[in-house]
Structure 1
């Protein structure tokens, strides 16, 4: 099966993709294009999957750069592939021939580009990273390489949608304590539960930070098991592990 690659006109003409699980070599609960080196999938199979992604972006496998994601607000500049991936959740580069990738399975994968300046970025933005400022940190790091944030286009890839993201009242309190305007991203659920609009919150933070344009490509990871991995869906199904989607962009 061939790879399925979702793209956005906002990031054109740069080569990029939000890869679905289709076209991969993994089996079982990981069936498809699992690119998570931290999963319990066979490492050789994950390497095959990542190699297919790199090939679709016209880079060698070792030029597809990712980090050890820890739900932080840390963004790192990249000029060469890492010997040991740093603990961070975003990468930026102005180096030709490098592809930047982030992994996700409900959290937001966000790809950035200032095509005019030749600077790109990629961020993994779950609720914690988004709240703590990983999107803003990515923009700051891009500016450090010569980007202008008013020229940056940012696109949020497949992520869990509000209908599937139930949270408790203490979760809401964390957001309101940081910014009371965040209340708009919560809808009342059953009992004391709320439904959180993670992509809406991501767009809000990106636009507040001054990007030139931003969008969510409007695919819910939880709702579409054929195309996307979902951490929350795997928990609800009682599965032992879950695959990780990859999203990547290159200069």
Structure 2
């Protein structure tokens, strides 16, 4: 793997999961590097090339990358066929092999979930709306009901996000999640940690980096106009 492009956090014979950086791409100016988002004003040709670079690093073709049309919701969908077009959502689950699920972020929490035993992976966009809407609970519920997954079998990886010290939400009312606010700042990570604990997930890893503070990743709050990096998860194609 090209480490300047990918930060692989988990890899086995069956699954690979990780996060991209902003390095190794062809985008320029505000989007400089490996911008993977087509909705932020970057040149479409550059985004397409960046996705090809990601696919090549993963050993697949770009048509096997599956991106969501993210809408800051708690909606989770299941991808049953690569040709299926996902409705707008912020979480996707699949048991397909050789298909990489991608979640785009630039301060929100990219959450990757893997069940090696059953060959199921998920990618979740957990921003403020997703966290307060308990999107990860929705994802785990679907994984259980549709694929028989159990929380004790899951590996969860939460990528770099904006930490509470830099996440100002002011007087915004977060309902029951106001308990994760202090001096007008929202601690998404603490909320996610408690959610996974309540769900019975014993193996959840959190990237300690703050997107606002590191130049290795895109940050909307830091830069305004900028690109997006991604979290990715894939069930590998098993040898015959």
Q: TM-score over 0.5 for the alignment?
A: yes
| C-alpha contact (below 8 Å) 1:207/1:213 kept by paired residues | no
Question: What's the CA shift for 1:7?
Answer: 2.9
Query: Any conservation in 1 of the 2:161–2:209 contact (CA below 8 Å)?
Result: yes
- Structure 1 match to 2:208: 218
Per the alignment, residue 195 of structure 1 pairs with 185
| Post-superposition offset of 1:82 | 4.6
Q: Which residue of 1 aligns with 2:168?
A: 166
> For the structure 1 residues 219 and 233, does the alpha-carbon distance in structure 2 shift closer, same or farther, using more than 3 Å as the test?
same
Contact 1:203 1:215 in 2 (8 A): no
SS at match of 1:8: strand
**Runs of 4+ displaced beyond 6 Å:** none
Deviations 1:76-112, CA, capped at 9 Å, x for gaps:
1112235644200001011111110000000000000
Q: Deviations over 1:165-224 (max 9, x none)?
A: 11212x2x32xx325xx52x3332xxxxx2221122122212212223112111111101
Q: What corresponds to 1:19 in structure 2?
A: 20
Aligned Cα root-mean-square deviation (Å) = 1.8
Looking at structure 1, the residues matched to 102 and 192 of structure 2 have their Cα atoms a distance apart, in angstroms, of 18
2:156–2:203: 8 Å Cα contact kept in structure 1?
yes
Partner of 2:131: 130
Deviation at 1:148, TM superposition (A): 1.4
Mapped contact 1:114–1:120 kept (Cα < 8 A):
yes
Q: Contact conserved, 1:57 with 1:250, CA < 8 A, in 2?
A: no
Question: Within 5 Å, which residues of 2 pair with 1:21-170?
Answer: 21-82=22-83, 84-143=85-144, 144-169=146-171
Unaligned ranges ≥5, structure 2:
236-240
State the TM-score, normalized to the length of structure 2. 0.90
- What number of residue pairs does the alignment pair up? 232
Q: Distance in 1 between matches of 2:194 and 2:8?
A: 21
User: Could you tell me how far apart the structure 2 residues matched to 1:41 and 1:2 are?
Assistant: 24
Paired with 1:96 and 1:84, the residues of 2 have a C-alpha distance of: 17
Which stretches in structure 1 are left out of the alignment for 5+ residues? 189-193, 236-240
Counterpart secondary structure, 2:205: strand
1:246 corresponds to which residue?
230
